[in-house]
Amino acid sequence: MPGARLDRILARLADSDLVASARLCAMCAEATEMSGAGIMLMSGDLPQGSVCTTDAVSLLIEDLQYTLGEGPCVDAYQHDRPVLEPDLAAPITNRWVAFTPPAVEAGVRAVFGFPLSVGAARLGALNLHRDRPGQLTADQHTDALVMAGLAARAVIAMQADAPPGAIGVELADGADFQFVGHQAAGMVSVQLGVSVADALIRLRAHAFQQDRRFADVARDVVGRRLRLTDDADRPT
């Protein structure tokens, strides 16, 4: 990405009247000429939630990945490398069995995940999507790497002044952190005597089997309207 172009992107990030996280996602999509973008934070192997999305389709992509535990952001973060799918409707390898059908139904034809990292610290992933199939050009790929680096540093900057254990005001403004999901996973972990990671898998499986949003299932668990058991999941 030429220096002049990077300077223009930084200037637009500073001058936009959108909140900081929304500016960031909008510029990620614009700089790479994509239909939309989203930024997902992760910890360990678990998605923590979405920092920002550019539109309803981007929000759906983030929600699907959080609910199902699979998709371009998840793979990009776990493998610490870009994950590129230029034709989601007819992939060479069908790697996201649950994620792909609803994403394609929403109009997504290509998805690209780029890890967010600063040094050895991995934060999450930048998700880019397009409403038509096709590979990234060399310039788009380079620009996506640059934007992922900018996004990682922006996330750290937005969180820098937050008290320990709290989310920074700028980072939280417009974000969709799935706190209720982690609370529900903690409850299920205690109830079933399993790890939090396994409890999250159980919650995701229940949401998928019942064709429900993960967040709705989590709210039912936290509200004690649903209890997951070793035998069967039952309403209470």
Q: Give the separation between CA 160 and CA 164, rounded to whole angstroms.
A: 10
9-23, 118-132, 163-177 — most confident range = 118-132
Q: Give start and end residues of each alpha helix (H) in 106-211.
A: 138-159, 169-172, 179-192, 196-209
Tell whether the model's pLDDT for residue 20 goes beyond 70: no
Per-residue model confidence (pLDDT) at position 235: 45
Is the pTM here over 0.85, yes or no? Answer: no
Per-residue model confidence (pLDDT) at position 57: 95
* Dihedral (Cα; 3, 153, 150, 96), 10-degree rounding: 160
Average pLDDT over all residues of the chain? 81
pLDDT tens sequence across 105-141: 999 999 999 999 988 888 899 999 999 999 999 999 9
* Domain positions in the chain: 3-177, 179-235
Per-residue model confidence (pLDDT) at position 54: 93
Q: What is the arithmetic mean of pLDDT over 168-179?
A: 54
Per-residue model confidence (pLDDT) at position 151: 87
CATH tag, 3-177 = 3.30.450.40
Per-residue model confidence (pLDDT) at position 14: 56
pLDDT tens sequence across 28-65: 999 899 999 999 888 766 666 778 899 999 989 988 88
Q: Give start and end residues of each alpha helix (H) in the chain.
A: 3-15, 20-32, 56-68, 72-79, 100-105, 138-159, 169-172, 179-192, 196-209, 214-222
Indicate the range of 9-18, 152-161, 218-227 predicted with least confidence: 9-18
Per-residue model confidence (pLDDT) at position 15: 56
Tell me the CA distances in angstroms from 183 to 72, 122, 129, one per residue in order. 25, 23, 30
Q: Give the separation between CA 166 and CA 40, rounded to whole angstroms.
A: 17
Buried b (16+ CB within 10 A) or exposed e, 163-197: eeeebbebbbebbbbbebbbebbebbbeeeebeee
Contact indicator for 114, 224 with CB cutoff of 8 Å: no
Q: Give the separation between CA 209 and CA 213, rounded to whole angstroms.
A: 11
Q: What is the CA radius of gyration of the chain?
A: 18
